[in-house]
Amino acid sequence: MTNQKNDPHQPLARASFGDDFLWGCSTSAFQIEGAGSADARAVSIWDTFCATPGKIRDGSNGAVACDHYHRWPEDFDIGQSLGLNAYRFSIAWPRIVSGIGAAPNEAGLDFYERLVDGMLERGLQPWATLYHWDLPQYLQDQGGWARRDTVAAFVDYADVVTRRLGDRVRHWITHNEPWCTAMHGNLDGMHAPGLRDAPTALQVCHHVLLSHGLATPVIRANVADAQVGIALSLHPIRAASASEADRQALLRHDGFRNRWFLDPLYGRGYPQETLALLGEAAPVVLEGDMQAIAAPTDFVGLNYYFPEVVRDAPGAGFLRTEVVLPQERERTDFGWEVAPDGLTELLLRISHEYQPAEVYVTENGSSYDDVVQADGSVDDEARRSYLVRHLAALRAAQEQGVPVKGYFAWSLLDNFEWSEGYLRRFGIVHVDFETQARTVKSSGHWYREFLHGRNER
């Protein structure tokens, strides 16, 4: 096969992926819904984080975002016109439960019923994510994910949602990117709740994984023929040099960045060499926890964006590694390396080492500083090239036997990009955040032509 990294025009056709392949886009509730106080929605940790001066680069918040809460019919019409047959969304926990011991919020459940019905009416298979980082603030006030009580609260929330929507939604993702929930939220402070404490972050990580495992059988009990999985943010780890020190740094970094999640989910427990590095910061694990985390799943979701290049860095935290940014690499305007071959590498690794029944690319996308032309169009050639090359990389893994069954581009819409506010655009549809006008970008036009079988690259 031609090298996808060097050939942005690799021949590509939808039909080659198989008739049952899913083609979708991914979104998340806080990033697009807006309607921050509508219908008894409770405050989330991201509302609090956004209200804290200096936390969001442009000083913005998600109170309006893309106003998807009111404009979802238009957004789903766009998705249908593109030729999507699946749509990944998340459910906002604060819309469902407003306080400890509170009865489920019927207005919130009704909204997601309307949302799911709207997808089905347009031929979009709904893929629901139960947790995409928007923890209710009332739970954070009690200690958040660092407390075991939040695990039980999540399982109760999952029970409520899947009872209501399980007759129409078959595919369920428990958590999106536990790494970000734990590490960006509680170790480096980049995300809500903005803490910087290693023991807290590691306990949060364990409880998130535990809540996944405990919720999985509950979802199965509520949903006939349920398909349950989790979406992980994984990275190929590459050594900064050929030195033995950097090679060992690669192994240490991979043990925490990737294997810390994959190993326990597939019944191997936490990597012992990583636990040894953590020392007293290691999480408290109770009897039965690891068995619960390893509850059988139907698929694993891979969120892939870029590799991480690391070098040995004595004294740099418990891993003693440092991520470096080689200057000669192609990068997005966000500074993330463009490396389609990394997607092939990860898919092959997951398939060979963990043998999941199915793999889905649940997120993959790129942020560029789009320019709206005088005629209103958005010619995002760099994003189109990124999309083409990553689909070719996915196809390469499929040809080598990886059971990859679907691809969800991140994202359908430009949106609130967490701590970056509205400064970063990942959408294949441009959103004017002042007028809320939607404009399909050239990458979106390419995706439409590809999904309708009218192009071959």
| Centroid of chain to Cα 240 | 27
pLDDT of residue 306: 98
404-416 in b/e form (b: 16+ CB < 10 A) is bbbbbbbbbbbbb
pLDDT at residue 454 is higher than 60: yes
Q: How far is CA 228 from CA 223, 287, 301, in A?
A: 10, 24, 10
pLDDT at residue 53 is higher than 60: yes
pLDDT digits (tens, 9 = 90+) for 299-335: 999 999 999 999 999 999 999 999 999 999 999 999 9
Mean pLDDT of 188-212: 98
Mean pLDDT of 82-104: 98
pLDDT digits (tens, 9 = 90+) for 9-30: 457 999 999 999 999 999 999 9
Listed in sequence order, the residues at least 6 apart from 143 whose beta carbon sits closer than 8 Å to its beta carbon are 149, 150
pLDDT digits (tens, 9 = 90+) for 330-379: 999 999 999 999 999 999 999 999 999 999 999 999 999 999 999 999 99
- Cα(321)–Cα(379) distance, integer angstroms: 39
pLDDT digits (tens, 9 = 90+) for 251-295: 999 999 999 999 999 999 999 999 999 999 999 999 999 999 999
The model's confidence at residue 7, banded by pLDDT at 50, 70 and 90, is very low
- Cα(90)–Cα(30) distance, integer angstroms: 9
Higher local confidence (pLDDT), 457 or 242: 242
pLDDT of residue 456: 57
Answer yes or no: 177 catalytic.
yes
Three-state DSSP at 239 gives strand
Residue the block writes with tokens 């040809």: 399
Catalytic residue among 33, 308, 345, 363: 363
pLDDT digits (tens, 9 = 90+) for 150-194: 999 999 999 999 999 999 999 999 999 999 999 999 999 999 999
Per the prediction, the chain carries an average pLDDT of: 96
pLDDT at residue 207 is higher than 50: yes
pLDDT at residue 2 is higher than 80: no
Single-letter residue type at 348: L
The model's confidence at residue 457, banded by pLDDT at 50, 70 and 90, is low
Pair 427, 411: CB distance under 8 Å: yes
pLDDT of residue 5: 41
Supply the DSSP string of 17-33, one letter for each residue: G-TT-EEEEE--HHHH-
Please compute, for residue 9, the number of CA atoms within 13 A of its CA located in the half-sphere on the CB side: 0
pLDDT digits (tens, 9 = 90+) for 112-134: 999 999 999 999 999 999 999 99
Q: How far is CA 245 from CA 242, 252, 367, 449, in A?
A: 8, 11, 33, 48
Mean pLDDT of 435-440: 98
- Cα(340)–Cα(351) distance, integer angstroms: 17
- Cα(404)–Cα(382) distance, integer angstroms: 25
User: What is the pTM for the complete model shown?
Assistant: 0.97
Catalytic residue among 33, 177, 337, 345: 177
